[in-house]
Amino acid sequence: MGDPLKKQSPLRIGVVGTGQISGAYLRTLSALPELSVTAVADLDESRAAAVAATLPGARALPTKELYTAEDVDLVLNLTVPAAHADVAHAAISAGKHVYGEKPLAATTAEARDVLAAADAAGVRIGCAPDTVLGTGVQTARAVLDTGRIGTPIAATAFMVTPGHELWHPAPEFYYQRGGGPLFDMGPYYLSALVTLLGPVRRVTGMASTSRPVRTVGSGPRAGTEFPVEVATHVTGVLEHEGGALSTLVMSFDVWAADLPRIEVYGTGGSLSVPDPNGFDGPVRLFDAGAGHWQDVPVRGGYPGADRGYGIADLARALDEGVQHRASGKLAFHVLEIMECLLTAAETGRSATVTSAGERPAAVPAQPQPGPA
């Protein structure tokens, strides 16, 4: 593919995995002129063919052929977490950039090998979530960077639900290695916290598994029982390099709650951040001087963004020769934070995060989409 750090125009994408999340990605990729889906692969070849038929210019290929296809510059890895590393290595070996669903890999050991292989091959690794590139988190970051709440001293992040088996027709992978509330939803919240407050250096935590067996609640397999192999309730405290302390709760064991998604508390006020599983939403500021909450207008982020904007950001970064924001380095740092939380829960001791995390560059305010 020539110079691996020079973007083709548009960046040509081969999609591996056409499960439930693929629809959101494909809608976005089809709408962005800097991206083009040229090939689709899945273990279910008929499903890949059906998806490819909806995408002008795309074709279904066996997975091995997709990796080596001349008209694929980047492989979008939408497989289950346990397969993330294998797919990434196959794509890297073929000289392709990779952008994957979270987590980067099932373990930091696997993820470290993926990043090392990419460095050796001179290709880029990107990883979800890219929700932090939307106007919600980026507006909150702009408020923090202007010092409106003073020095950040603490944050809270809550994601609680009774479990994905209630709505997903094949939920087993959420309860296997690489799954659970922490590995499934934690990347959204942790990527947002790192974007807002910077890297994490130390964590402590506790975890539990409420039920050893769960039941599929919808679809043709409703009523089917399956084993639970991971912690389903995780709580922890993160110490950021800047000194702020974030309290995190991730749970598949809570039927209902009235909790904020993310809040940041500073010496001069507080900030309410919208759900990091989405791209936008209201940002609210409590200024100690004003003494009341107020809505904050959009001050940053890609407006109207959806799943796949991280790939568009990567394509633009290739053109400009700069670092893309939803990077493998950030995803590795988030993965290590999650592993350290579980280690802390198992040992009863705090765990040190050793990776050199980075706070990605801010996304400045962008023109609103649509006609002028």
Element (H, E) at 49: helix 45-52
3-state DSSP helix/strand/coil % of the chain, to nearest 5: 35, 25, 40
Considering only the C-alpha atoms of the chain, give the largest distance between any 2 of them, rounded to a whole number of Å: 62
Q: Which amino acid is at 51?
A: V
The model's pLDDT over 105-132, given as tens digits with 9 standing for 90+, comes to: 999 999 999 999 999 999 999 999 999 9
- pTM (two decimals): 0.93
Average pLDDT over residues 144-160: 97
pLDDT the model gives residue 201 = 98
For the chain, the straight-line distance linking the first and the last C-alpha, in angstroms and rounded, comes to: 37
Q: Which amino acid is at 251?
A: S
pLDDT band at 357 (very low <50, low <70, confident <90, very high): confident
CA-to-CA distance for 103 and 333, rounded, in angstroms?
Answer: 11
Q: Which residues of 185-200 are buried (b: 16+ CB within 10 A; e: fewer)?
A: bbbbbbbbbbbbbbbb
CB burial of residue 116 (10 Å; 0-12, 13-18, 19+): exposed
Average pLDDT over residues 51-67: 97
Delineate the domains of the chain, giving CATH numbers in brackets: 11-127 (3.40.50.720), 135-302+334-352 (3.30.360.10)
Q: Which amino acid is at 325?
A: R
CB 283, CB 141: distance < 8 Å:
no
CA-to-CA distance for 1 and 13, rounded, in angstroms?
Answer: 13
Sheet hosting strand 245-251, strand order edge to edge: 292-296, 283-287, 269-273, 262-266, 152-160, 245-251, 233-240, 200-208, 351-352
Q: Taking the CA atoms of 311, 312, 317 and 320 in sequence, report the sign of the dihedral they define.
A: positive
The model's pLDDT over 177-195, given as tens digits with 9 standing for 90+, comes to: 878 999 999 999 999 999 9
The yes-or-no verdict on residue 4 having pLDDT over 50 is no
- Percent of the chain at pLDDT above 70? 97
